[in-house]
Amino acid sequence: MKIDVLFKRAVDMGASDVHLRAGIPPILRIDGRLRRQEDFSVLTNDDAMEMLEQIASQEQRNRLFAEKELDFAYAFGSSARFRINAMWQRRMLSIACRLLPFAIPSIDELELPQICKDLILQPRGLILVTGPTGVGKSTTMAAMIRHLNENRDCNVICIEDPIEYQHQNIKSIIAQRELGEDTNSFHAGLVRALRHDPDVIVVGEMRNLDTISAAITAAETGHLVMSTLHTTDAVQTIDRMIDVFPPNQQSQIRLQISQEILAILSQTLLPRASGKGRIAAFEIVLSNPSIRTLIREGRTYEIPTYMRIHPEAGVQSLDDALAFMIRTHKVTREAAMRKASDPKRLAKLLAS
């Protein structure tokens, strides 16, 4: 069985993911739903291994056996790239392939908040794009980098695992470093990036204390830093960053975050009301004196209340965003209710 046949089908059908697992036929995720490809035979473990051999080097396969996990990118002709993750489950191989179009979508094409354009052109500070796995954080960041690349001449260093969207040098010069190939860790890549005359540093994910600390330091030293966290809202994001530090350091880290944070964009993904494609909804928290005070004083739990009372400050709750998307017929009420942070409040917003 040729994996490229499945990849071509995924591209033609607009799938976001391809799943290969022993015991079932290949599965495509289309508009958020898993669809079995019943015209393909049920896969065996040998089938999955054979398809991995078609796209992974011997060195990569050796890493899979040594580390039990493997992440890499694969170029599918001139039409797309795939982010591949291989892992073991019940001693059998499971492969997930995320489709990455070569063309980087714009902020407008994705219907992202217009504030994304202003944020990515800021000279310094920390921007965090957050949300669960698979909601499009990497695509949001790629669109923002594209806008930067088209509008500002600067030196951008990206540290990724793996490289997903490939950026060309337009107004900016962009270096993309891949974990395992170009650098050994996000923390090491970030520290070395500071010696490479950067204006902007993009860190694929802040996974641990060292990386979070280095990102804050980079923002403090006059750089624009953008990264992701697997958190669902601003409160959880800030608390997660602070909680990874020892208790005796948390007061200082809280102060540093309050000074350096520019924005937290927490996103989720919903099916469009038309039934074709998906669209992101955002909670937006922009830094201002009030937000900085709440962070510095450890009162992050008050941020949701502040957002409801002061919409003029440029902040936006997820429920407000969902209410607007329902009223403008971009998503259905049912889909929005499943994603709402407070379904009862969303119902009240729609009734008012």
Nearest to 155 by CA among 223, 257, 90: 223
Residue 102 has what pLDDT? 83
CB atoms within 10 A of CB 169: 10
Q: Which residues of the chain are under the pLDDT cut of 50? A: none
Q: What was the pLDDT predicted at 124?
A: 97
> Is residue 332 within 8 Å of 326, Cβ to Cβ?
yes
Cα–Cα distance for residue pair 125/254, rounded to 1 Å: 15
Give the model's pLDDT for residue 131. 97
Other Cβ atoms less than 10 A from the Cβ of 136: the count is 21
Residue 19 CA to residue 97 CA, distance in Å, equals 6
CB 245 within 8 A of CB 253: yes
Q: Which CATH architecture has domain 3-101?
A: 2-Layer Sandwich (3.30)
| Both structure tokens of 242 | 């602070």
What pLDDT, on a 0 to 100 scale, did the predictor assign at position 134? 87
Q: How far apart are CA 308 and CA 345, in angstroms?
A: 11
The predicted structure's pLDDT at residue 181? 87
Domain ranges of the chain: 3-101, 115-316
> Hunting for tokens 């944020």 — which residue is that?
119
Name the one residue in this structure whose structure tokens are 């004083």. Answer: 297
For residue 39, list its beta bridge partners.
none
At 341 the pLDDT is 95
- The dihedral built from the CA positions of residue 218, 219, 225 and 226, taken in this order, carries a sign that is positive
Q: What is the pLDDT of residues 216-270, one digit of tens each?
A: 999 999 999 999 999 999 999 999 999 999 999 999 999 999 999 999 999 999 9
- Is 20:94 a contact under the CB 8 Å cutoff? yes
The domain made up of 115-316 has a fold known as: Rossmann fold (3.40.50)
Q: Write down the pLDDT at residue 352.
A: 83
User: What is the residue whose two structure tokens read 């015991």?
Assistant: 23
